[in-house]
Amino acid sequence: MSMRRLLVANRGEIALRIVRAARARGIETVLAASVADKDSQAAHEADRTIVIGAAPARSSYLDGRVLVHTALQTGCDALHPGYGFLSERASFAALCEANGIVFVGPTSESIRLVGDKLAARTLARAAGVSMVSGSEKVASVEEAQRIAAHIGYPVITKASAGGGGRGMLVARSAEDLSAGFDTSSHEAQEAFGDGTLYLERYVERARHVEVQVIGDGLGTILHFGERDCSLQRRYQKMMEEAPAAILSEQVRQRLHQAAIDLLAPIKYRNAGTVEFLYDAERDQFYFMEVNARIQVEHPVSEAVCGVDLIQLQLAVASGEPLHLTQADIVTRGHAIEVRILAEDPMRNFTPSPGRITTWAPPAGPGVRLDTAMCEGTLVPPYYDSMIGKLIVHGADRTQALERLRQALHDFVIEGIATNLQLLRAIAEHPDIASNQIDTRWSERVLLPAFALH
């Protein structure tokens, strides 16, 4: 089918990005906006904006019935959920399908198969993809302690229904599990409506590497290389790179094939990311999970592959075949993305909503900024604190880092607190230059040193 009118069911920079991608394909856009976002940049650029509810997300962006009703009332034949909010909710995709609205993402069945982390482990096992030793769902702290004794400490609890660090607890002893298990389950329940946890052996010095894919829904899966997302704070990504420079070419090819092997049997449709832990000491990767949506860090894959992944999403959702072959997708150079946050790192990363009085972004060769902010924009207190994504691209990692340092030096934001100074410290750190980090490096090395300043 030819997509004619698209409901954009998200906010901020991703909503703006979707509006512009749709416009490039000749698709009309209707933005579903909360009261707080009715005057946003995306609202100004969309063909039409409908206020769907109050500022809190539960009254607007998390109300699937209102979003589908808005799509139907405005004559939209498709809906793009962006990332976050309802983008990985199988019930929401099913609601769109039941009402004849094309969901720009995987089918509801695929989301069910990969969205539940335990179900995804079953798929990985069937595909022969290596996994860290772990468990099925764990019903009690006593059961968790029995399983952990068998796996061997340290272990980590994970939420079956979602990621983003919610429900995660590193336990180095039975006492740690006893002290934190209920809290982790409650956190998962609050975040995903499901408190089910499972256990995995915890890899001490792990890298987080993920493969970007798009499927046509007929069994063909293309990959767009991998990203290294190891620089994290409390399991939230701070910086992403493509490609993952730590991998050998042999391991890189095996990683890409593992991602394809996992998703091809379910005839996965649209964009997705298959996430792995990489143990550098053993030179081995292990499957973690599938994110059944476009991700925040997709621009680094776009930069090195020379593709527009949002437009590819729209093409696949319209029923078009993938006009690319794997041989057409060639990685060139190196790209890095950092997330610009309205948070104060010197005050335990306290959110900093307010009005931006100065917004002077960087420019230059290989510099891209995905944002919906400008001078005078009011950053609301109701949502995620990310206000932009700075992406740099260079001929190699050294040049990309040089461009990142310069861009961060040139970036001026006033009126609110941001993490720009912390990002500058990251870009200048010798461990970043030498690529000697892991998923806990920021807590172990960066943040204690930064706090002293």
Mean pLDDT of the chain: 94
Q: What are 310-351's pLDDT values in tens digits?
A: 999 999 999 998 989 999 999 999 999 999 999 999 999 999
Q: Please compute the mean of the pLDDT values over residues 81-100 and round it to a whole number.
A: 97
The domain defined by 206-451 folds into D-amino Acid Aminotransferase; Chain A, domain 1 (3.30.470)
More confident call, 117 vs 421:
421
End-to-end CA distance of the chain: 57
Q: What is the pLDDT of residue 452?
A: 57
Confidence of residue 2 (pLDDT cuts 50, 70, 90): confident
Rounded-to-integer distance, Cα 324 and Cα 272, Å: 17
Residue 293 annotated among the catalytic residues of the structure: yes
- In the chain, where are the structural domains located? 5-104, 133-201, 206-451
Q: What is the pLDDT of residue 161?
A: 76
Confidence of residue 453 (pLDDT cuts 50, 70, 90): low
Q: What are 414-443's pLDDT values in tens digits?
A: 999 999 999 999 999 999 999 999 999 999
Q: What are 216-253's pLDDT values in tens digits?
A: 999 899 999 999 999 999 889 999 999 999 999 999 99
How far is CA 85 from its chain centroid? 12
For the chain, what percent of residues have pLDDT higher than 90?
80
Pick the CATH number of 133-201 from 3.40.50.11440, 3.90.1150.10, 3.30.1490.20, 3.40.50.300: 3.30.1490.20
Q: What is the pLDDT of residue 275?
A: 96
Q: What is the pLDDT of residue 339?
A: 98
Q: At what angle do helices 298-305 and 309-317 cross, to 10 degrees?
A: 100
Pick the CATH number of 5-104 from 3.40.50.2300, 3.40.50.20, 2.60.40.10, 3.40.640.10: 3.40.50.20
DSSP code of residue 338: E
Confidence of residue 115 (pLDDT cuts 50, 70, 90): confident
For the chain, what percent of residues have pLDDT higher than 70?
99
Helix then strand then coil, in percent of the chain rounded to 5, is: 40, 30, 35
Q: What is the pLDDT of residue 137?
A: 84
Among residues 293, 339, 403, 405, which one is catalytic? 293
Cα–Cα nearest to 310, from 15, 7, 4, 2:
15
Give residue 1's identity as a one-letter amino acid code. Answer: M
Q: Look at residue 10 and tell me whether its pLDDT is greater than 90.
A: yes
Q: Residue 346 class from Cβ within 10 Å (0-12 exposed, 13-18 middle, 19+ buried)? A: middle
Q: Look at residue 379 and tell me whether its pLDDT is greater than 80.
A: yes
Q: Look at residue 173 and tell me whether its pLDDT is greater than 80.
A: yes
Write out the DSSP string of 188-231. Answer: HHHHHS---EEEEEPPTTEEEEEEEEEEESSS-EEEEEEEEEEE
